[in-house]
Amino acid sequence: MTMERIQQLLDNPDSQGVIELPKGEFEGKFIVRKSCVINGNDSLFWSNSGPVLVVDAENVKLDNLKI
């Protein structure tokens, strides 16, 4: 799955505010802009430099996500 597709998932939580990420390793700089619960399914977000995840919203909960 591409960095762009992961960002699309993060931009569009379901009606209950939940985001289900696929299991895998994803490089990028991802930004969370909406209140949500992110179920990472033991996924890994990584980057060679700089921040890999920016949380720019209140009430964001991360579950089962490695950073």
Q: How many CB atoms lie within 10 A of CB 26?
A: 20
Residue keyed to tokens 């990584």: 46
Per-residue pLDDT reduced to its tens digit, 17-54: 999 999 999 999 999 999 999 999 999 999 999 999 99
Q: Examine the pLDDT at 67 and tell me if it is beyond 90.
A: yes
In this predicted structure, what is the pLDDT of residue 21?
Answer: 97
In this predicted structure, what is the pLDDT of residue 1?
Answer: 84
Number of H helices, E strands in the chain: 1, 6
In this predicted structure, what is the pLDDT of residue 19?
Answer: 98
Summarize the confidence of residues 54-59 as an average pLDDT: 97
Question: What's the CA gap between 55 and 36, in Å, rounded?
Answer: 11
Question: What's the CA gap between 30 and 28, in Å, rounded?
Answer: 6
DSSP state of 21: P
